[in-house]
Chains A and B, each alone.
Chain A
Amino acid sequence: MELSQDWRKLQRTFYPAKKDAGSELSAVYLVHDRGVILTAFSEGENLSDWSGMTVEEFRGQFPHRTLAVTECGRMENWVQTSLAELNLPAQVERVRSHWAHETEADSRNQVLRALPSRTHFLIDALERSWWSRVLPSSFALLLRLESDSKANRHFILVYRKGRLEHFGEPDLTFMSPERRESLGEVTRYLAERLALPVQGVQLLEQDWKNWSDQAHPWKEMAWAIQSKRVQLVPFRWQCVGLVATRGLIGL
């Protein structure tokens, strides 16, 4: 069975784990049942003693902490409706969206602060920007990350009907090692196998890591394309235009 949704590699490629212990006063997430706290959660803190206490008691004790409070039935509903989504990124996004939109106005700001944007700049552009209106509804994006110290890594995102359907390392075992070296050959091979247009992007792993930490690294990326640090295979002016519009005009 070929794994078509490789969450581990998606995380590793797009959301590398933070190795620091986090700040002292991070947001606190409370799930309650009629005001009684069921779960109190904050990164790196043990708040388990608060289970069974009331939300008001918690507020009284920590008046300056950012609190994201939600009722347990509501959260269970959000999770249950999210099960209809095809994959975990879409499920998580659905819960986040419910959480941000269905929270009462007086505490919505706190929730929005507590739910930091964790969308990667590239996924954000592909799924939630005007790009989605100009891109074909079905296509694949292949990243080739080059590194001096280790072998090149490939990662593919496959969109069908506007939704992320597959993600993971593509199966290139049927290609000879020589053909695998050529990104053009790899994109052609995948385009035939998937019956989709495939856009290959070759870049340095270090550049990718640096940009992944930023919300808007498009300008650097646009310059990198111009200086050929980033290569688009096949080269499409339309793709350069999309990156340049975001990077240089900011759209």
Chain B
Amino acid sequence: MVNYWDFRPTALVERLDALVQQGVTELVSFVPWQAIEGDIQHSLSKFLHASAERGLAIHLVVSPEVGLSAPQSGIPKDLLSKQEGLAQNCDGGWVISAAAPQWHALPSIHSAEFQKRFQNYLAKVDHVLSDVQKRGSAGVLDRVQLVLTGSFWKYYRSHRASSLSPFGGPAGDFSGTVGLQLRTKIDQRFAQAEFSEPNPAAANRWKVKGLEGVNRRWFMQDAEDQFRARNAQYFGRKALSIRVNQMELFTPEVDPALLYSQVMAFSSGLRADFSRLSDLIDEAAMRRTEVEGEVAAPWVHWTANAGFASLLDAEKQFLVLKSLLLLASQGGGVFIDADEWFSLSEGFRRRAETLARTLASGDYRLRQRAFYLNSHLWSSGGDLWSELESKLGTLSRMIASDDLLKGDEGLDADLLVVDPSVILTRNRMIHLLSWTRSGRVTAVPRSLLYSEAARTELNRVCQSHERLDLLMGVPFELYPMGEGKLLVYDSHALEKAESAEVAGQFVHALLGLAEIKAPCTTSDSRLEVVGLERRGGGRGIFVLNPSARAVEADVLFPNDVIVGDLGEQLKRSQEALLSGPASSVSVASQRFHLAAPPCGVLPMEVLDSQWENELERRQAAREIESTQRVALDAAHVELDGLTEVNPWN
């Protein structure tokens, strides 16, 4: 990460030359409002030309973000000067970004002033790039990509609730600006035919005060989705020959969960809260966003303006490796300030680059085994999500759109839990049922948040299948549907119980039904495990020790496995990595003893034939499903009047 506006033109050229000499081939730079609106020196254009001359690929982040080294993260001062233009969290306080060069509040994206200024900003970016394309040297933009991110939405959270649990409590902007927009949107949404059945008066039941929390969550998610879609369309429509990438960029150092400790660290001159930063990477890895049906890959940004820079080198290295393991293995990665990166040892940088290249090539992937469909991605998922998260860790994914079940993403998972706050429409219901039929387990709540058509659809399916009434913490109905299973759980009983134990029993039952188990566990809870699946068979298990002390513990596998030294393998070429056997292997066992140094990451290659067989069986089932889906899609196209086919009923 090298921000072109941090440098004077001559210094920038020197910096680029130095980076090229150090072997850098790609750079990322933010394009903050202040920099683009007052760019009388044409710095962006000069930066793009200078980079093109040096053969550097450039990624320009053109969404407003926090944690930038520009004053107020580059947000125009006048947007932050009026209190009514600032976002408020559910506690009524401002959302603060505690990073250098200044702490500042976040503006409300909903405010009319923000929207107007933002459109001007987009137009200015477009103008500058068009100008470079028309008048600049040929090919200047050939290696330039625009990056659109999720902006401030994920940071609109309570500092208090987030301190107790990183994404705890209701997220969203609670400022006065939002109130009126919320009411209008609610009226528009529930005027749709689906919510007016069986009679128009039925729409009123969705607008009652008791459902305000549910509606607010939906509204926040919808507003974010629309903001992102509009930005994508803006650059999509333009004649610019620049590729646009969607990313979910997360800067843990300015997250509301870190505010108090960050303020305390700044005030006392101490190092930042390393353990909390480490926990926030998990949170980034466990949430999946999409823009117009496409996955926005998760990325983490480590800055030089806040907590990261204050950490010890060993802690920084740990965070970089952990971010790579959890995010690059999902198609994302890490943005790191160039000064911070080059302050780390050359040996470490080489190891991290090797790992990053291996993960970027897709040789190792972090697969999700369970989805949790929530009404708002950045709000609390309640007890069920907490239990799923604690039992599966980074194998679970929170999503806010069932579109993510359609693509390759959806093929991997075996379980879907629907949060009680999700409004279920007929289309969504059909989609969930179709996903369930191909060997998955889906748990939907028995709640009041069904449209009439969705309830009819559910009842129709339930009546045509055998029903089992069970109680595992929460009472639920189980309907075997072909290879899959549908569970209808009593969400009121869950709410009434107000006990994590009840939710825990239920989630345990769900994981059992979906045959999901963690790839391995450790005998010491201080250690963390990241399990990646290797293309062509085998797994990479990374044991992470985030503590400041060495930890000796056992790693426990569900089956007998053979363990090899993955670190040794990663040093070899990628080709050899895929074909070659582990360099040193153990005897088959379920338990291995290891000593993890402080902030250490221990890679292991694991050969587990039982796990492989299981994986193959599951993949075969998925392929059958995929084939069936293609056939169905073809039937929809070819056969006029075919509106619905449920051949496995």
The residues of A with any CB-CB pair to B shorter than 8 Å are 1-8, 11, 15, 17-19, 21-22, 26-27, 29, 31, 33, 38-39, 41, 43-48, 51-52, 68, 72, 75-76, 78-80, 82-83, 86-88, 91-92, 95-96, 99, 114-116, 118, 171, 173
Contact = CB atoms under 8 A, between A and B. Distances in A.
Interface stretch (B181-189, B265-273, B347-355, B562-570): B265-273
B101 A44 contact: no
B511 to A, nearest CB: 24
B601 to A, nearest CB: 17
Contacts of B134: none
A209 B304 CA distance: 21
A44 B276 CA distance: 11
Nearest to B103: A91
Contacts of A4: 71
Given A38-B160, A116-B268, A95 B100 contact: no
A50 to B, nearest CB: 11
Contacts of A116: 268-269
Given A15-B269, A31-B163, A72-B159, A79 B8 contact: no
A1 B43 CA distance: 8
A80 B94 contact: yes
Contact of A92 (B43, B266, B275, B339): B266
B160 to A, nearest CB: 5
Contacts of B69: 3, 7-8
Interface stretch (B123-131, B255-263, B364-372): B255-263
Contacts of A87: 101-102
A1 B11 CA distance: 13
B263 A171 contact: no
B263 A75 contact: yes
Interface residues of B, number: 55
Given A39-B260, A41-B261, A8 B70 contact: no
Contacts of B43: 1
B6 interface: yes
A51 B261 CA distance: 12
A45 B261 contact: no
Nearest to B32: A1
B96 A29 contact: no
A23 B104 CA distance: 32
Contacts of A26: 270
B275 A46 contact: yes
Given A39-B273, A43-B270, 12 more contacts: A3-B5, A8-B309, A41-B265, A41-B273, A44-B274, A44-B548, A72-B160, A75-B263, A88-B102, A88-B103, A91-B103, A95-B263
A1 B260 contact: no
Contacts, number: 136
B268 A27 contact: yes
Interface in B42-101: 43, 69-71, 93-94, 96, 98, 100-101
Given A51-B164, A80-B93, A91-B103, A41 B264 contact: yes
A115 B270 CA distance: 10
Interface in B277-324: 279, 304-305, 309-310, 312-313
Nearest to B305: A7
Contact of B269 (A99, A118, A171): A118
B547 interface: yes
Contacts of B536: none
B548 A29 contact: no
A99 B268 CA distance: 11
A244 to B, nearest CB: 29
Interface stretch (B33-41, B241-249, B396-404, B585-593): B33-41
Residue of B5, B165, B273 ringed by the most chain A CB atoms within 10 A: B273
Given A31-B163, A31-B260, A41-B273, A79 B268 contact: no
28 contacts: A1-B5, A1-B34, A5-B101, A7-B69, A7-B101, A8-B69, A11-B309, A22-B270, A22-B271, A29-B261, A39-B264, A41-B260, A46-B274, A51-B165, A52-B164, A72-B163, A75-B260, A76-B96, A78-B263, A79-B98, A79-B259, A80-B93, A83-B102, A87-B102, A88-B100, A88-B266, A96-B267, A118-B268
Contacts of A83: 96, 102-105
A15 to B, nearest CB: 7
Q: Which 10 A-B pairs have the closest CB atoms?
A: A7-B100, A118-B269, A46-B275, A38-B163, A39-B260, A41-B261, A43-B270, A31-B260, A29-B264, A5-B101
Residue of B264, B273, B276, B313 ringed by the most chain A CB atoms within 10 A: B264
Given A2-B8, A79-B96, A92-B267, A48 B275 contact: yes
